[in-house]
Amino acid sequence: MTALSSGAAVSETVSETVSETVSEAADPLADAHSRLRAAIDVLGYEEHMYDMLATARREMTVSVPLRRDDGTVEVLTGHRVQHNFSRGPAKGGLRFSPDVDLDEVRALAMWMTWKCALLDVPYGGAKGGVRIDPRLYSTSELERVTRRYTSEIMPIIGPEQDIPAPDVGTDEQTMAWIMDSYSVSSGHTVLGVVTGKPISLGGSLGRATATSRGVVHVALAALAERGLAPTASRAAVQGFGKVGRSAARFLAEAGVAVTAVSDQYGGIRADGGIDIVDLEAHVDRTGTVVGFPGAEPLDGDLLVEEDVELLVPAAVECVIRADNAARVRAAVIVEGANGPTTPEADRILEDNGQLVVPDILANAGGVVVSYFEWVQANQAYWWSEDDVEARLRERMLGAWERVRLYAAQRDLSLRSAATCLAVESVAQAHRRRGLYP
């Protein structure tokens, strides 16, 4: 049985899967390099610091042979990129997507380094990916892919080396399989090898919604910065998967009218606001936001151009580009996804006076609670949900305040300020350790 042949599996798989198509012009690694270059220039660092930080410390590409349910064998490709170890072990998600390529994984790994440094989480960045469209494979096929990929990258992962987590196209079940495969090979259960695990297997309370919670903490702070009360604000959310879905719900709970939502199949809009709880029930039933009664259809590609105060791109990279940035009307853009805005688009938004809260700050809630999960797993001592939520809020708002102040004092965009703060922290650690040998 393929995932697509069962209604229940469709809704679960789709909501956790790729939410938008990456544009042909997308070049996340070039974007990541250009942001690093700008930060190095602002900080006045030596050229070798750019070279050091533009390059991943370690990369592994593996073949993942998969026995399909019909007995045929297919060979997939997987990567794990560990961008930096100066501040601690590497950390970052694992993506199952047909768009995965090594350069994309490199960019995503670098962004993880900045995210961890900015939030003062003691890790360097990593990212993994398998080039596969998970919607086209059965659950048991995905289990075999995950276990074989884990065994191939086994020499470079571990609770003190590199700790994977969910990302586009993977979920807590994927993490349970990785944990089990790693543990079986180690001869004992190793809870700290992955985060984003099911609660029953050492996952943390609050991890599943952590990225969305973090997005909403900084979104509300950014709206306040612009003098916008939540109840006087409308929001458009792109993507209704792991990040967008709960972000839309938390925004609605805070009093924001969520007037437009999209997923990979299309979008919907309603001037009076969409009932997110009803929409979630509709998505659980049908696998998509499309066709939600009480809302008009909307071309998913046009969601970013909606007339709203807050735009939350929560799908994939490079969706706000030079060709559509001038038509983005939101006063505040909060990047739930990694790399949704290209550098050219950034310049257009900045010239138009729009406030962009960058991904490395806005969506860092996931890795913050991953860190909490790793701490809890390593100590075998579990925190209450209230503890997790309070500590997450404190870290997100603390980082928001640091970035806001740094930007204001130096007349920088929030993105430049966040990247500079992160690069500064990694460079400091690197200098104090010294270059070996």
Closest to ligand GLU by CB, 112 vs 345, is 112
For ligand GLU, give the closer residue by CB, 93 or 267: 93
For residues 366-383, one letter each, b for 16 or more C-beta atoms within 10 angstroms of the residue's C-beta and e for the rest, the string is bbbbbbbbbebbeeeeeb
Provide, rounded to whole angstroms, the least separation between the CB of residue 93 and ligand GLU. 3
CB of 365 to ligand GLU, least distance (A): 8
- Asked if 262 and 300 touch (Cβ cutoff 8 Å), the reply is yes
Among 239, 287, 336, 366, binds ligand GLU (CB under 6 A): 366
Give the residue, chosen from 27, 31, 167, 172, that forms a contact with ligand GLU under the rule CB under 6 A: 167
Please give the residue whose beta carbon sits closest to ligand GLU in the complex: 93
With CB under 6 A as the contact rule, the residue among 28, 78, 92, 287 that binds ligand GLU is 92
Least distance from ligand GLU to the Cβ atom of residue 168, Å: 8
CB of 207 to ligand GLU, least distance (A): 8
We find the least distance from the C-beta atom of residue 367 to ligand GLU, in angstroms, to be: 4
Is 197 part of the annotated catalytic residue set? no
* Residue 60 to residue 82: CA distance in whole angstroms: 9
Peptide bond into 122 cis (omega under 30): no
Q: Does 418 bind ligand GLU (CB under 6 A)?
A: no
Looking at the Cβ atoms of 290 and 360, the one nearer to ligand GLU is 360
Cα(409)–Cα(344) distance, rounded to whole angstroms?
Answer: 24
**Residue from 91, 131, 404, 415 in contact with ligand GLU (CB under 6 A):** 91
195 binds ligand GLU (CB under 6 A): yes
Q: How many CB atoms lie within 10 A of CB 352?
A: 12
Kindly tell me which of 156 and 302 has the beta carbon lying closer to ligand GLU.
Answer: 156
259 binds ligand GLU (CB under 6 A): no
Task: Give whichever of 110 and 268 is closer to ligand GLU, judged by the CB atom.
Answer: 110
Task: Pick between residue 212 and residue 425 the one whose CB is nearest to ligand GLU.
Answer: 212
* Out of 174, 233, 370, 419, the residue judged to bind ligand GLU by CB under 6 A: 370
Q: 66 vs 163, which CB is nearer to ligand GLU?
A: 163
Q: Does residue 367 touch ligand GLU according to CB under 6 A?
A: yes
Task: Return the number of the residue (111 or 137) whose C-beta is nearest ligand GLU.
Answer: 111
Q: Is 93 in the site for ligand GLU (CB under 6 A)?
A: yes
Q: Out of 115, 127, 197, 242, which one is annotated catalytic?
A: 127
Q: Of the listed pieces 59-67, 130-138, 307-315, 363-371, which binds ligand GLU according to CB under 6 A?
A: 363-371
Mapping DSSP onto H, E and C, the string for the chain reads CCHHHCHHHHHHHHHCCCCCCCCCCCCHHHHHHHHHHHHHHHHCCCHHHHHHHHCCCEEEEEEEEEECCCCCEEEEEEEEEECCCCCCCEEEEEEEECCCCHHHHHHHHHHHHHHHHHCCCCCEEEEEEEECCHHHCCHHHHHHHHHHHHHHHHHHCECCCEEEEECCCCCHHHHHHHHHHHHHHHCCCCHHHCCCCCHHHCCCCCCCCHHHHHHHHHHHHHHHHCCCCHHHCEEEEECCCCCHHHHHHHHHHCCCEEEEEEECCEEEECCCCCCHHHHHHHHHHHCCCCCCCCCEEECHHHHHHCCCCEEEECCCCCCECCCCHHHCCCCEEECCCCCCECHHHHHHHHHCCCEEECHHHHCCHHHHHHHHHHHHHHHCCCCCHHHHHHHHHHHHHHHHHHHHHHHHHHCCCHHHHHHHHHHHHHHHHHHHHCCCC
Exactly one of 338, 342, 376, 419 binds ligand GLU (CB under 6 A); which one? 338
Does 174 bind ligand GLU (CB under 6 A)? Our answer is: no
Task: Write down the least CB distance from residue 113 to ligand GLU, Å.
Answer: 11
| Residue 153 found at the interface with ligand GLU (CB under 6 A) | no
What values do phi and psi take at 138, rounded to 5? -75, 165
How many residues in the shown chain lie near ligand GLU by CB under 6 A? Answer: 11
CB of 223 to ligand GLU, least distance (A): 23
Least gap, CB of 94 to ligand GLU (angstroms): 8
Active site positions, annotated? 127
Residues binding ligand GLU (CB under 6 A) = 91-93, 165, 167, 195, 338, 363, 366-367, 370
